[in-house]
Amino acid sequence: MELAVSEHSLISRLPSVRGKLRPGADLAKSNWFQVGGLAEVLFKPENTQDIAQFLKHKSSDIAVTVLGVGSNILIRDGGISGVVIKLGRGFTDCHAEGDRVTVGAACLNSNVVEFAKNHGIGGLEFLSGIPGGIGGALAMNAGAYGFETKDILVEAEVVDPHGTIHVMTPDKLNYSYRKCGLPYGWVFTRATFQGHAEKSDIIASNAAKIAEQRQNTQPVRSRTGGSTFKNPEGFKAWKLIEAAGCRGMKIGGAQISEMHCNFMINNGNATAYDIETLGEKVREQVLHHSGILLEWEIKILGNLPEAQSQEIIAA
Ligand X SMILES: Cc1cc2nc3c(=O)[nH]c(=O)nc-3n(C[C@H](O)[C@H](O)[C@H](O)COP(=O)(O)OP(=O)(O)OC[C@H]3O[C@@H](n4cnc5c(N)ncnc54)[C@H](O)[C@@H]3O)c2cc1C
CB 3 within 8 A of CB 37: yes
**Which DSSP string corresponds to 158-204?**
EE-TTS-EEEE-GGGGT-BTTB--SPTT-EEEEEEEE-EE--HHHHH
| Single residue of 27, 103, 137, 240 touching ligand X by CB under 6 A | 137
Helix (H) or strand (E) holding 108: none
Closest to ligand X by CB, 192 vs 227, is 227
Residue 223 beta carbon to ligand X: minimum distance, rounded to whole angstroms:
9
Cβ–Cβ < 8 Å for 287, 293: yes
Q: Which range, of 137-145, 228-236, 244-252, 268-276, touches ligand X by CB under 6 A? A: 137-145
Cα(172)–Cα(170) distance, rounded to whole angstroms? 5
User: For residue 282, what is the enclosing H or E element?
Assistant: helix 272-290
Rounded to the nearest whole angstrom, what is the least distance from the CB of residue 228 to ligand X in the complex? 10
How many whole angstroms separate alpha carbon 65 and alpha carbon 186? Answer: 9
Residue 103 forms beta bridges with which residues?
94, 191
Residue 217, amino acid: T
User: Which residue among 21, 84, 130, 254 contacts ligand X (CB under 6 A)?
Assistant: 130
For the window 172-211, what string marks contact with ligand X as x by the rule CB under 6 A? ---------------xx-----------------------
Check if 128 is active-site.
Answer: no
Residue with Cβ nearer ligand X (218 or 308) = 218
Site for ligand X in 64-123 (CB under 6 A): 66-73, 87, 105
Minimum distance between the CB of residue 118 and ligand X, rounded to whole angstroms? 22
138, 163 Cβ separation under 8 angstroms? no
Span from 93-101, 114-122, 126-134, 250-258 in contact with ligand X (CB under 6 A): 126-134
The window from 63-71, 110-118, 190-198, 204-212 that contacts ligand X (CB under 6 A) reads 63-71
> Looking at 44-52, 115-123, 135-143, 235-243, which segment touches ligand X (CB under 6 A)?
135-143
Q: CA-to-CA distance for 311 and 74, rounded, in angstroms?
A: 19
Residue 178 annotated in active site: yes
Comparing every residue's Cβ against ligand X, the nearest one is 136
* 113 within 8 A of 127, measured Cβ to Cβ: yes
Burial 35-68 (b: 16+ CB within 10 A, else e): bbbbbbbbbbbeebebbbbbbeebeeeeebbbbb
45 binds ligand X (CB under 6 A): no
Which of 78, 79, 123, 135 forms a contact with ligand X (CB under 6 A)?
A: 135
Q: Looking at 81, 155, 178, 257, which residue is catalytic?
A: 178
State yes or no: is 214 an active-site residue.
no
Among 132-140, 167-175, 268-276, 285-293, which window interacts with ligand X (CB under 6 A)? 132-140
- How do 223-227 and 263-266 pair as beta strands? antiparallel
Orientation angle between helical segments 200-217 and 109-118, nearest 10 degrees: 160
Q: Nearer Cβ to ligand X, position 136 or 279? A: 136
Among residues 76, 227, 257, 276, the one annotated as catalytic is 227
Residue 32 contacts ligand X per CB under 6 A? yes
Which residues are catalytic, by number? 178, 227, 297
Provide the binding-site residues for ligand X, judged by CB under 6 A. 32, 66-73, 87, 105, 129-133, 135-137, 139-140, 142-144, 187-188, 218, 220, 224-227, 299
